[in-house]
Structure 1
Amino acid sequence: MPHYHFNVHDGVGTLDREGMLLADIGAARRQAMLLAGALLEADANRQRDGKPWLMELTNQAGEALFRLDFKITTSVPGVSAR
C-alpha cells in the first residue's frame, strides 16, 4: 500500500512525519478532505480572514501529488470571521 503525508502550510507549517498507508490516490484524496474538514472545525475560532493556507499531499518520496487551497474571506465589511 502507498504511504502518503498530509502537510499543512498555514504560516506555521506542520509536516506530517508519520503519514498514512492508503489503498490509492483516490483514498488519499478523500482522506485529505476529511482531515481538512476536521482542521477547519477544530480551529473554527482562529482568525484566518484573508490569510490563505493549504494542505499538500505527498508520497513517501516527498513528491507533491496534489494540494487543497483554503482562504476564508468575509464579504460584509466590519464582520469578523470569528
Structure 2
Amino acid sequence: MRLTRSGTATQALCRPCARPGGLSLREVQVLAELTRGRTNREIAGNLSIAVRTVRHAHRAHLRQTGPSQSRRSSRPSGRLGA
C-alpha cells in the first residue's frame, strides 16, 4: 500500500489483495486519515465524503480487527501513518 497526498487529501493506493483485513479502499483511506489524528469531520472534508460514511468505515475496521487492534492502528504513530 502506498499513501499519496494531493493538496489536503490523502489517497491510499493498493492492490485488492494488499488491503489490510479485507477493508475496502475507502475504509483504508479513512484509517490512513485516522492515523494522522484527524477528526471525523476533517476526514470527511479531505475525502469529500459524509461524516456518516467516515463513521461507517471506522465501524467496519472495528468489526474486522477488534477494538484493541483498532486503538493501536488509529494512533498517530500507527503503521499506516508512517
| TM-score, reference length from structure 1 | 0.28
Please report the TM-score for the alignment, with normalisation by the length of structure 2.
0.28
Q: As a proportion of its length, which structure holds more helix?
A: 2
Higher CA-based Rg: 1
